[in-house]
Amino acid sequence: MEGMSTVEKDDEREYRITMEIIVDTYGPEEQALGWYYYLAEKIQFPFEAKCIRERSISHLQLDEQVKVLRMADEDDCRVEMFVIIEWAGRSFGVPLAQLIGLNIDRQTEEAIADWHYWLGRGYLLCG
């Protein structure tokens, strides 16, 4: 499903998303699974990250740094991709869209950027 786009189209990224991430998916639930497994495979956990946008569903504040431990459970990523962070002595999920990695490898950076691009283009994981 497509919403309002705030990001210019990137043909290389569109191709990768279409041919690697959501290839052979039918409907939002299968697309969510495609994204989940792509991110889980490509991102090298754990890594340090910085909050780039505040969300009403998250305690993180702009520019706050956290340690990202892993992807949230598959069932928690049916509409949006969540990662488990270590914060204030606890571990819990926050939207990956809130974060950018710090001092991460190229593959991790590209995977996170792919998810940010997908959202920025207005694509959604809902039916």
pTM: 0.91
Torsion of CA 48, 52, 57, 60, to 10 degrees: 50
Instruction: Give the Cα separation of 56 and 3 in Å (integer).
Output: 20
Note whether 34 and 17 are within 8 A (CB): no
* Element (DSSP H or E) covering residue 118: helix 106-120
Note whether 81 and 118 are within 8 A (CB): no
Tens digit of pLDDT at every position of the chain (127 positions):
445 567 899 999 999 999 999 998 888 899 999 999 999 999 999 999 999 999 999 999 999 999 999 999 999 999 999 999 998 899 999 999 999 999 999 999 999 999 999 999 988 886 4
Domain boundaries along the sequence of the chain: 11-120
Q: Nearest 5 degrees, angle CA 80-CA 47-CA 112?
A: 40
- Domain made up of 11-120: CATH architecture: Roll (2.30)
